[in-house]
Amino acid sequence: MKKTGMALLVLAASVSLCATHANAQGPAGAGATAAAATSSSSGSGNSHSMNPIKWIKKDKDKSNSASSTDKNLLLTEKLHEKGVLAANSDISSTCSIFKSLNDCVAALHASHNVNLDFNCIRADITGVQTNADISGCKGPIGDKPVNLQEALKRLKPEVDAKAEAKSAEQQAKDDLKSVGA
């Protein structure tokens, strides 16, 4: 009799713990979102997520769009003054298909320095064929993206591609630093 009573006590305790554990996991099924919102607002009052993924900030603090637009305008003006960017274009539309602004500005400088069509360099670096006319490109334009040095080597083999790429990348770095981008 003692053993049966002890077994019933253990069984009752385990059922009680299982029910508490299941309740702690929150509601599931249809209406779970509403039930979870109700229980979290009236329950513990703790709005901190227990999901560790949400503890990590995924994106860096992005500057607000106004300051970003101002930096783009400053960079556009600076590149217009140097004759690197065509007078009727802006940096945002010109660099929209590049992965980074630095790569785009370096390509602009390289095309200006070695007297190449920017559309040819852009097509080679990004691997993206836009509606721009690239029929005047002297070298082969590949489907796969390449770095600036390789693009210069393909399009104008007579120049020192390594030196020109390094120079253009430094000019781009200086321009971006001067506008705070």
| Cβ pair 146, 129 in contact under 8 A | no
Q: How far is 81 from 79, CA to CA, in rounded Å?
A: 5
| Cβ pair 132, 89 in contact under 8 A | no
Whether 3 maps to a domain, the answer reads no
Model confidence at 54: pLDDT above 80: no
Model confidence at 108: pLDDT above 80: yes
- CA of residue 45 relative to chain centroid, distance: 35
Range of the domain at 101: 87-179
Whether 110 maps to a domain, the answer reads yes
Whether 115 maps to a domain, the answer reads yes
pLDDT digits (tens, 9 = 90+) for 64-98: 455 678 888 999 899 989 999 888 899 998 888 88
Whether 150 maps to a domain, the answer reads yes
pLDDT digits (tens, 9 = 90+) for 23-45: 555 555 555 555 555 544 444 44
In whole angstroms, how large is the CA radius of gyration of the chain? Answer: 30
The structural domain count of the chain equals: 1
Whether 28 maps to a domain, the answer reads no
Whether 107 maps to a domain, the answer reads yes
Q: How far is 37 from 23, CA to CA, in rounded Å?
A: 15
Residue 166 confidence (pLDDT): 96
Model confidence at 179: pLDDT above 90: no
Q: Between 122 and 57, whose confidence is greater?
A: 122
| Cβ pair 179, 71 in contact under 8 A | yes
Whether 136 maps to a domain, the answer reads yes
Mean pLDDT (the chain) is 76
Residue 103's pLDDT band (cuts 50, 70, 90): very high
